[in-house]
């Protein structure tokens, strides 16, 4: 099909930024019959069909990640140095290989025992005999920052510092949501990045001289073997991305998984009874249905076509994983939880290709452990029907909050 055969589509009624219900908005896009569409509200092309999304994510020669032309300000915000998100080409391949070694299945199982289980257990010990909780704050906000700090060999018992870590990460996410274009948000993100560096740098320096059994020590010891040239700035950048990614998306993911568990008829009963594989399936379906990272920014590197629509070099593209994860041409009953899907993990919640999430297995382990311990400790747990109804928050990264639970009768 040639470009001339296809009339470029624009978003129906309202743009993506104004849509309070993202999935209803994605349904309207499909109903409009359009292939990729132009969205004036975000000044970007929207790619949302499963096959188109997968193809675009796998082709960085046409659709480069948003940091391909990062200026010094963006580099400072992201931590600079040997940063896997900022890196391109061979440098990215080297960094990715190193991260995949750090987060291999065997290592993640060790992290589960040494870091995830103790932190999740500590969260439930705090809850104790409470009858009702907001799981978003008591579990989702509490666990991931402490898991990643434990893995980095940093203190986890300073509640104010852990809360501050989430605030600072949110400032950076807010800048990303704005498409890296808002000057005021850039300034706040710069200040947040500087504060994150101040938190992390003393430990980066300490572990260079006094290695221990933690991530930062392994960065100094093992990264050079993967061709990563390390000085203090490079080590800080590498650790900063672990510090950011490991303590942010999983916060949102835990809330979304718990929302899925307790708001879909029959799911809690089955997961409670079966555990094991049912919990694994719940995590995959919850991530598919309520994709945390709704989309990825890409820059079109050359004049190209997607489904017959011309996209020009330099134009911004939103690759919408959250829409692709409910594509009815790929999934049967895409808006429903199905714990028996034939290939439960083929969703795009963790992206696809060379920019897919290297920490996906760690995130899965944290979410599974939360559900497992929740039912161990509170067999009768259920959603509180009289408390505030969970609502979607965010734009680039979305989460259902609050998730108010009744723990015991």
pLDDT digits (tens, 9 = 90+) for 249-272: 899 999 999 999 999 999 999 999
Region 92-112 average pLDDT: 95
Residue with the bigger pLDDT between 298 and 394: it is: 298
The pLDDT-based confidence of 189 (bands split at 50, 70, 90) is very high
* 116-152 pLDDT per residue, tens: 999 999 999 999 999 999 999 999 999 999 999 999 9
Model confidence band, residue 3 (pLDDT cutoffs 50, 70, 90) = very low
**pLDDT of 208:** 96
Residue 177: per-residue pLDDT: 86
> Is the separation of the CB atoms in 216 and 207 below 8 Å?
yes
| Cα–Cα dist 39/15, whole Å | 6
Per-residue pLDDT tens digits for 156-165: 999 999 999 9
pLDDT at residue 1, rounded to an integer? 32
Residue 35 reports pLDDT greater than 80: no
H or E stretch at 41: none
Looking at residue 275, what DSSP letter applies? Answer: -
d(CA 175, CA 187): 9
Torsion of CA 240, 245, 251, 254, to 10 degrees: -150
Q: Which domains does the chain have, with CATH numbers?
A: 3-406 (1.10.630.10)
| 247, pLDDT greater than 90 | no
Count Cβ atoms below 10 Å from residue 307 Cβ, excluding itself: 14
pLDDT score of 9 = 66
List of residues 6+ apart from 228 with CB closer than 8 A = 82, 94, 95, 98, 234, 238
Q: What is the pLDDT of residue 5?
A: 42
CA–CA distance, 45 with 331 (Å, rounded to integer):
24
Band of pLDDT at residue 4, cut at 50, 70 and 90: very low
Residue 84 has pLDDT above 50, yes or no: yes
CA distance 293 to 355: 13
Which residues 6+ apart lie within 8 Å of 153 measured at CB?
203, 207, 212, 213, 214, 215, 216, 217
Backbone angles phi, psi at 296, to 5 degrees: -125, 135
């Amino acid at each position: 099909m040639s470009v001339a055969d296809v009339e470029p589509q624009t978003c129906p009624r309202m743009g993506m930024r104004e849509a309070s219900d993202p999935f209803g908005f994605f349904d309207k896009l499909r109903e409009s019959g359009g292939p990729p569409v132009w969205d004036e509200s975000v000044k970007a092309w929207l790619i949302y069909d499963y096959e188109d999304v997968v193809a675009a994510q796998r082709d960085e020669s046409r659709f480069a990640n948003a940091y391909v032309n990062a200026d010094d300000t963006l580099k400072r915000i992201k931590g600079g140095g040997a940063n896997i998100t900022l890196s391109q080409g061979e440098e990215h391949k080297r960094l990715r290989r190193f991260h995949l070694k750090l987060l291999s299945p065997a290592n993640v199982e060790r992290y589960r025992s040494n870091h995830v289980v103790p932190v999740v257990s500590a969260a439930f010990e705090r809850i104790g005999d409470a009858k009702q909780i907001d799981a978003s704050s008591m579990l989702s906000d509490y666990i991931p920052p402490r898991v990643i700090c434990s893995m980095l060999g940093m203190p986890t018992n300073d509640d104010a510092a852990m809360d501050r870590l989430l605030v600072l990460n949110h400032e950076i996410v807010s800048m990303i949501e704005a498409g890296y274009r808002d000057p005021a948000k850039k300034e706040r993100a710069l200040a947040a990045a500087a504060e994150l560096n101040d938190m992390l740098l003393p430990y980066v320096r300490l572990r260079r001289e006094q290695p221990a059994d933690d991530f930062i020590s392994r960065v100094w010891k093992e990264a050079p073997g993967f061709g990563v040239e390390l000085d203090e700035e490079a080590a800080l950048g590498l650790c900063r991305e672990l510090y950011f990614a490991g303590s942010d998306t999983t916060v949102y993911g835990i809330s979304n998984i718990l929302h899925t568990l307790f708001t879909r008829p029959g799911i809690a009963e089955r997961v409670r009874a079966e555990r094991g594989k049912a919990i694994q399936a719940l995590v995959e379906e919850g991530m598919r249905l309520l994709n945390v990272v709704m989309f990825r920014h890409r820059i079109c590197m050359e004049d190209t076509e997607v489904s017959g629509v011309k996209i020009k070099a330099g134009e911004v593209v939103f690759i919408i994983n959250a829409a692709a994860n409910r594509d009815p041409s790929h999934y049967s009953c895409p808006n429903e939880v199905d714990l028996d899907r034939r290939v439960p993990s083929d969703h795009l919640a963790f992206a696809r290709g060379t920019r897919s999430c290297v920490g996906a297995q760690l995130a899965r382990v944290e979410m599974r452990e939360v559900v497992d311990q929740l039912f161990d400790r509170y067999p009768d747990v259920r959603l509180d029907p009289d408390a505030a109804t969970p609502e979607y928050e965010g734009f680039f990264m979305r989460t259902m909050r609050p998730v108010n639970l009744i723990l015991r009768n």
